[in-house]
Structure 1
Amino acid sequence: MALTTNGFLNWKDALNKEKGFVKHASSEIHLIAMSMWNEKDRRQSTGISISNLINSDILERHRYYVKSVADVIKFLVVNELALRGTYDINEQKERSLFQNLFEYTIIRKDKKLAEC
C-alpha cells in the first residue's frame, strides 16, 4: 500500500526479496491491479468495451441516472447555490441542497429515475 500512495524511495533495497519489488509483486494490491490491467489489455486487443459487456437496458438506466445527477448539479451551479450541506447528528444524515433536490426529483417527479 505504501508503494501506491508514497512511491518507492528506498532504492538500495529495491532488489531485496524482503523489502523491495519482489515483496510488492506478491502483495494483494499488486495482484489485483495486475488482474485489472490484464483484463483491460484483453478487452483492448479484442475490441470489446465495457459497454458491450453490459446489458443495453442497464447501460441506458445508468446513463439516465448520471445525466440526472448532472442536471441537478447544473441547476445548483446556474443558480449559484452550494452543493455542500450540513450533517444532522440526530438523524445521522447529511443534508444538502443537492441531496434534497435529487431526492425530490426521484420521489416526486421522475419515476424512471427512481427505478435506476
Structure 2
Amino acid sequence: MGSAESDTVDVSSAKAVLLGALAPGVNGPTWIALKSTFLMLGLCLVVMLGLAFSSSDSSLVLHVAFLFLICVTLFLLLRWFLAETGLVSVEHQMHEMGLAQSDHLETSRKDK
C-alpha cells in the first residue's frame, strides 16, 4: 500500500495539461480542458446562430450552422479516438519526457 502511494506524483492541473500538450498521449486533465473548450466554443456558436437567425441573413445562418457542424463533428471524432486509444497517466507522460524524479528511477533500477 505504501509503495503504490509513493508511485503517484502530485502534479498541478496546469502542469498536467501542459504535459498533455507536449507528451505523447492524452491525460485526464487535458481531456477535461478539451471538453470545456469545446463546450465554450459550442456555446459561442449557438449564440452566433441565434444572432444570425435574428438578422434574417440566410448566408450567415448557413455559415454559422456549418461551423457548428464542424465543431460537433470534431468533438465526436476526438471522443471516439480517445475511446479507442485510451487515456495515459501523467506519470507515464513525465517518464516519456524524462521529467520523472531521479530517486524514483534509481529505486526502480535497484529492484531489477
TM-score after normalising by structure 2: 0.30
Q: Which has the larger radius of gyration?
A: 1
Q: Normalised by the size of structure 1, how large is the TM-score?
A: 0.29
More strand by share: 1
Q: Could you say which structure has the higher helix fraction?
A: 2
